Structure 1
Amino acid sequence: MSDAIRHECGLAYIRLLKPLAYYHRKYGTAFYGLNKLYLLMEKQHNRGQDGAGIATVKLNVEPGHQFMHRMRISGAQAISKIFQNIQQEVSDLEKMYPDIRQYPGLLKGYLNFMGETLLGHLRYGTQGRNNVEFCHPFMKPSINPTRTLTMAGNFNLVNTDELFSMLDAHPTTTIRESDLGAMIEMVHYYLCLADDTDPEALNIEGILKQATGHFDGGYVCSGLIGNGDSFVMRDPNGIRPAYFFQNDEVIVAASERPAIMTTFNVPLEEIKELRPGSAIIIKANGSLTNPQILEAGEHKACSFERIYFSRGSDADIYRERMDLGRNLAPKVLDMIDNDLKNTIVSFIPNTAEIAFYGLIKGLEDYLNEIKISRIHSRTLTEEETRELINRRVRIEKIAIKDVKMRTFITEDASRNEMVQHVYDITYGTVKQGDTLVVIDDSIVRGTTLRESIIKMLDRLGPKRIIVVSSAPQIRFPDCYGIDMSRMGDFIAFQAAVALLKDRGMENVLQETFQQCKDAEANGQLKEQNFVKAIYAPFTPEEVSKKIAELLRPEDVSASVDIIYQSVEGLYDACPHNKGDWYFTGNYPTPGGNRVANKAFMNYMEQKEGRGY
């Protein structure tokens, strides 16, 4: 994605089912669990680089000894720093007891994070606050183990104020401004209401049913309770991803399937996807159940996971990204009038590479059909046959990401000129009269395209630049884990507003704004997404054409066109992940409508901030 956006978070959960001595004997180290937690987090580091945290629970701890520990670090390299701190603790202990590694029981007693239940989290600060207080896990401590809770997750809730009001809670500013703060307060409230006279009989399923029934959002959350029970739960629409694996040694859950496959060397078919609205509940004795906590709604798994966020090493995601690119081939051929001879195809940024391969395969399919047709239509000379067989789609590595450019210059014009050099271009690849087709994952704001990429590509001297997005037009804010919350940021919205003004239809803006204000006054802001009316008068092609006009700098010589994936093409490529609200405005929960309407109201009132 050429436009940088904050997104997602990553979850890593491990429950060791054997005593620590077992792993020491079999794998040669009592640190098996911590080593695996480190790998599971590192294999998902793409999901969060603003901070990280871990928590562990020790089972069967003598009364009076601490059973739950937590560490959080904000900023870059947080995962490494956390585990370096643990390593330092081990090294300090070895100075007193050089052979301590040979005694797993002593290690558990001396080292804070030598527990049997482990939770890790990777954070992107979707609210723009990256200080350590906002890093997961959060903790609700108590001297009573059954009322001690730590939680982490990958989510956004859109009704946090309502949750705090229901609880009549007055938390600290940090807790109130965090979605996890609202979530852990609600779960802890019902945890404290539960009968804890028998810690082994604590009804986690009932607690989750009561607590999560109040949540509005997309989430995967995990909690560790001091008595040894733990859980991982997914929202009813399956918006956020979650996978788990179980054998006789471990139970594992994570945000991404390949992370589990690589860390534990298990095949794809042994890993299960957590059903929407369900949870895995692991009791202190290691037994696992997978109950349905909330009734599953319409399956709306986030399609951006498939387009961009999740690693492409997942077999299904790789295939889907290939199909996203392949589905764009007919549109590209139509726009270049099937003139592949004078067309070069490339990609920016590197994360668009898989979709690029799919686009090339689609263009090659067309080219092969042409070859077959001509071979059958007439007799060819050897030279003509050779030329025909050797005809290929022209592929070039046009742009290479250079070092991250920083500038001390404060003037916008000078800064923008510096930004153009984030990428190095490959000179000599484009001939006079060539069309340059470049595929991107998605186009959100278009800022990088306008200020950097299009100007950079123009220096190569193409007649025409066509930017292709493997995602449809992003028209609406997200409120379930991706930091796309300000309506005015979206280039598609800017284009629709420009079209309304071009056609003398500015009244649509005011009418929509008034509908939102009336709905807010009546407490019905979440009943309907009124912002759809802004796009209703225009076809996707009209919006794309206006976007191209807005993104083409005046000093660029080449003509510029934009091609977007269709929503139907997205469904075809990603049939099981149809979370499309940022493209269509069809939100899976009522809170989404409120967010879209509020974001539009903020735009009209020129207010900063999110719509939730």
Structure 2
Amino acid sequence: MSDAIKHECGIALLRLKKPLEFYIDKYGSAFYGLNKMYLLMEKQHNRGQDGAGLANIKLDMSPGERYISRRRSVDQKPIQDIFTTINQRFEDIAEHSPEKLKDIDFLKKNVGFTGELFLGHLRYGTSGKNGIESCHPFLRQNNWMTRNLVVAGNFNLTNVDELFDVLLNLGQHPKEKSDTVTVLEKIGHFLDEENEDLFQQYKSQGYNNKEITSKIAEHLDIVKILKRASEDWDGGYTMSGLFGHGDAFVLRDPAGIRPAFWYEDDEIFVVTSERPVIQTAFNLKKEDIKELNPGHALILKKSGEVSEEKINEPTANAACSFERIYFSRGNDFDIYNERKLLGQYLVPQIIDSINNELDNAVFSFIPNTAEMSFYGMMKGLEDYLNVEKIDAIKALGNELTDEKLQQILTRKTRFEKIAIKDAKLRTFITQDDARDDMVAHVYDITYGTVKRNEDNLVVIDDSIVRGTTLKQSILRILDRLEPKKIVVVSSAPQIRYPDCYGIDMAKMGDFIAFEAAIELLKENGKGYLIDDIYKKCVEQQNLPKEQIKNYVKEIYAPFTPQEISDKIAQLLTPVDMKSEVKIVYQTIENLHKACPNNTGDWYFTGNYPTPGGNKVVNKAYMNYIEGISERAY
């Protein structure tokens, strides 16, 4: 994605189901779990580079012995920082008493992160806070083992204000108004209530306090806790949590917006945000991995028993389509094929954009993450060219000769590595014009790949959000090749609306498609709609979120997608460009055709899967009109 946006987060939960001695005997190491967690987190580093965190719980520890460990980092390479720090303790032991590295009793009593239950998190911040205190996992501590709670998640809630008020009405005094703290305290409140209910129940049955503690740990009703805690959450989430005594859970939102995959055998139980991560870490086939159902939770008891339970009634599927277009790693079997289809389905529009001049066209991709859709585009172009070859051969009839046949068969689509991203250039100059000139050199080009003033140059990108990099850098450097026309192809549709479920796309002014629509309204004598829509948004801002409508759709309604694309091309073309510029976007229909199981498309269509989405988009529009530069949730 040439316009980088922050997005998603990643989780990794791992439970070792055998005694730790088993892993020493079978794998030769007491650190089997820790090593696997490093792999599970490192293979998801694409999901979060603002920070990372790791928590571990040791089972069956005696009173007075530490049983929860946590390490977080906002280092430049946070995962490596965390594991380097943890491993330093083991290296010290190896230097002085190497035999103790296989002494489970010693390790559990004296060294952190030597327990059976792990929770890791990769963070991409969308709130602008990147300090250590913003890193997951979050910890809610208590002297009662069964009241200790560790939480981490890939989520964003739209109704934090409402949830904050709920906590106040419960008598709490939260330390800050954020969705993470709110979630932690909401689950924690009902965890406390469940503990208290069970305590009173077993107390009345004559058990002593020590016996009651064991009973609570055995019979804690996690399903009940999660149902009560999450009943009024509005947003997209995969929420994971550990309890101090060894139970754990992973909860997915009712629309399945955020992803979660899991695997279980007699040795391990593991959950991650992406399927191939588990495949790689444990050498499994994709068929071995299950996807957590929307609205359901995986409940892991201390005993090792795992069940999938319905917590909230599932709604219409709205799994995030951006996961398939860009966010998830492309080594997933299905995602790889879907991204190729996204490129392949664009071929008819591409052919039209170059007036069917395939013999005078060069194809490439920017940036590297668009490579898979590029493969699909080239496959589609090859298929198209083969049809033309067949028709040309048929048209020759009796006049077919070896020379003419050779001429037809040697026609090929031309592709080149056009742009190369150089090491980041530090810009010390503050004047805008000079800075833009420096930004234009972030990419460099392969000279001699395009016939000057004769070839069309077609480059495919994952998506076009703001278009800033295109205008300031990419189009200018491509223009140095002097093509007749530059066609920029987006494998995603036009991004028109803010996201509020975990992707950092929160402001209307950040979208070039929105800017184009506003300009078109003004140019076509429909500027009055801008104020009319603002008034509609203001009129409903105090309504319950369930009654709010997305009136921002009316901004785009007067125009076809092509009209908006043409306006985007005009807005993004630098004033000194020599080549003609054209922008081609994926269609909504072909997006769903390529990615049939991830139907969440609210950032393209404005069809939000939760009521909070409509409230957010209207607030984002009001912020735009009022000149307020902040996210709307």
TM tier, smaller: over 0.9
Query: Alignment partner for residue 360 of structure 2, among 342, 351, 359?
Result: 342
Native 8 Å contact 1:526 1:591 kept in 2: no
For 1:6-405, list aligned pairs within 5 A. 6-168=6-168, 169-173=172-176, 176=177, 178-194=178-194, 195-197=197-199, 198=215, 199-378=217-396, 379-405=399-425
Question: What do the CA deviations read for 1:461-495 (whole angstroms, capped 9, x no partner)?
Answer: 10110100000000000000100000011000000
Gaps spanning 5+ residues in structure 2: where? 200-214
Structure 1 counterpart of 2:280, which letter?
A: T
- Give the unaligned 5+ runs of structure 1: none
Whether 1:579 and 2:597 are equivalent positions in the alignment is no
Q: Which amino acid aligns with 1:373?
A: D
The reply to whether residue 460 of structure 1 matches residue 481 of structure 2 is yes
Q: Return the alpha-carbon distance in structure 2 between the equivalents of residues 42 and 271 of structure 1.
A: 19
Q: Secondary structure at the match of 2:323?
A: helix
Q: Do the aligned partners of 1:526 and 1:593 also contact (CA within 8 Å) in 2?
A: no
Question: The residue matched to 1:554 in structure 2 has which SS?
Answer: coil
In structure 2, how many angstroms separate the alpha carbons of the residues matched to 1:366 and 1:256?
Answer: 34
The CA distance in 2 between the partners of 1:388 and 1:110, in whole Å, is: 75
Residue of structure 2 equivalent to 1:565: 586
- Does the 8 Å CA contact 1:245/1:252 hold for their aligned counterparts? yes
Q: Does 1:478 align with 2:499?
A: yes
Aligned residue pairs: how many?
609
SS of the aligned residue for 2:540 comes to helix
Kept in 2: contact 1:519–1:525 (CA 8 A): no
Q: Deviations over 1:226-256 (max 9, x none)?
A: 0110001110000001000001000000000
Write out per-residue CA displacement over residues 547-576 of structure 1, whole angstroms, 9 at most, x where no aligned residue: 000000110000101000000010000000
Deviation at 1:92, TM superposition (A): 2.6
Q: What does residue 530 of structure 1 align with?
A: 551
The CA deviation at 1:69 is 1.4
1:545 aligned onto 2:566: yes
Q: Is the CA contact 1:526–1:594 (under 8 Å) kept in the aligned structure 2?
A: no
CA distance in 2, matches of 1:405, 1:62: 55
User: Can you list the C-alpha shifts for 1:73-119, whole angstroms capped at 9, x where unaligned?
Assistant: 11321000100011111123334523111212211221111110100
- 1:423 lines up with 2:426 in the alignment: no
**Aligned mate of 2:618, from 573, 576, 597:** 597
Task: Quote the Cα distance in structure 2 between the aligned partners of 1:103 and 1:115.
Answer: 13
- Cα pair 1:49 1:75 within 8 Å, conserved: no
Deviation at residue 435 of structure 1 after TM alignment: 0.6
Letter of the 2:460 counterpart: I
Q: Partner residue of 2:520?
A: 499
1:4 alignment partner AA: A
Query: Higher mean Cα deviation, 279-288 or 105-114?
Result: 105-114
Give the secondary-structure state (helix, strand or coil) at the position aligned to 2:350.
Answer: helix
| Equivalent position SS for 1:534 | helix
1:5 is displaced (CA, Å) by: 0.6
What is the CA–CA distance in structure 1 between the aligned matches of 2:166 and 2:366, rounded to whole Å? 47
Q: Helix, strand or coil for the counterpart of 2:440? A: helix
Q: By how many angstroms is 1:407 displaced? A: 1.1
SS of residue paired to 1:291: strand
Task: Confirm whether residue 412 of structure 1 aligns to residue 432 of structure 2.
Answer: yes
Where 2:459 maps in the other structure, the secondary structure is: strand
User: Distance in 1 between the 2:271 and 2:394 partners?
Assistant: 56
Partner of 1:500, secondary structure, is: helix
Following TM superposition, by how much is the alpha carbon of 1:377 offset from its aligned partner in structure 2, in angstroms?
Answer: 2.1
Q: What letter is aligned with 1:171? A: P
C-alpha distance in structure 2 between counterparts of 1:240 and 1:431, whole Å: 46
8 Å CA contact retained: 2:174, 2:185: no
8 Å CA contact retained: 1:24, 1:104 = no
Secondary structure at 1:312 match in 2: coil
Q: 1:411: how far off?
A: 1.2
> In the alignment, is the contact (CA less than 8 A) between 1:396 and 1:429 conserved in 2?
yes
TM-score w.r.t. the length of structure 1 is 0.98
One-letter code of the match for 1:132? I
Provide the C-alpha distance between the structure 1 equivalents of 2:140 and 2:224, rounded to a whole number of angstroms: 19
| Change in CA separation of 1:258 and 1:522 when aligned onto 2, cut-off 3 Å | closer
Task: State the alpha-carbon separation in 2 of the partners of residues 468 and 570 from structure 1.
Answer: 14
Shift of 1:524: 5.3
The answer to whether the 8 A contact 1:300-1:577 is kept is yes
With over 3 angstroms needed to count, the CA separation of the structure-2 counterparts of 1:75 and 1:528, relative to structure 1, is farther
**Equivalent position SS for 2:364:** strand
Structure 2 Cα separation of the partners of residues 95 and 398 of structure 1:
52
What SS does structure 2 have at the residue aligned with 1:99?
helix
Contact 2:75 2:81 in 1 (8 A): no
Which amino acid in 2 is paired with 1:170? H
**How far apart are 1:504 and its partner, in Å?**
1.4
Deviation at 1:200, TM superposition (A): 0.5
AA partner of residue 490 (structure 1): F
Q: Distance between the aligned counterparts of 1:159 and 1:324, measured in 2?
A: 34
CA contact (8 A) 1:348 1:439 kept: yes
Shift of residue 167 of structure 1?
1.2
Moved more, 84-93 or 294-303: 84-93
Greater CA drift, 408-417 or 467-476: 408-417
Q: Is the 8 A contact 1:326 1:355 kept in 2?
A: yes
Give 1:30's aligned amino acid: A
| Residues 235 and 525 (structure 1), Cα distance of their counterparts in 2 relative to 1, 3 Å cut | closer
Q: Which amino acid aligns with 2:533?
A: T
Aligned residue for 1:290, secondary structure, equals strand
AA aligned opposite 2:487: I
| Mapped partners of 2:332, 2:76: distance in 1 | 26
Contact 1:23–1:32 (8 Å) recurs in 2: yes
| One-letter amino acid matched to 1:442 | S
Asked whether the 8 Å contact 2:9–2:123 carries over to 1, the reply is yes
Contact 1:218 1:480 in 2 (8 A): yes
Answer yes or no: is the 8 Å Cα contact 1:475–1:584 preserved in 2: yes
- Following superposition, the deviation at residue 522 of structure 1 comes to 4.1
- Is residue 530 of structure 2 the alignment partner of residue 509 of structure 1? yes
Letter in 2 for 1:155: F
Mean Cα deviation higher: 92-101 or 366-375? 92-101
Answer whether contact 1:71 1:82 (CA < 8 A) is retained. Answer: yes
Percent identity (aligned)? 56
**Partners of 1:102 and 1:244 in 2: how far apart?**
29
Distance in 2 between residues matched to 1:101 and 1:69, nearest whole Å: 18
| Inter-partner Cα distance in structure 2 for 1:73 and 1:213 | 32
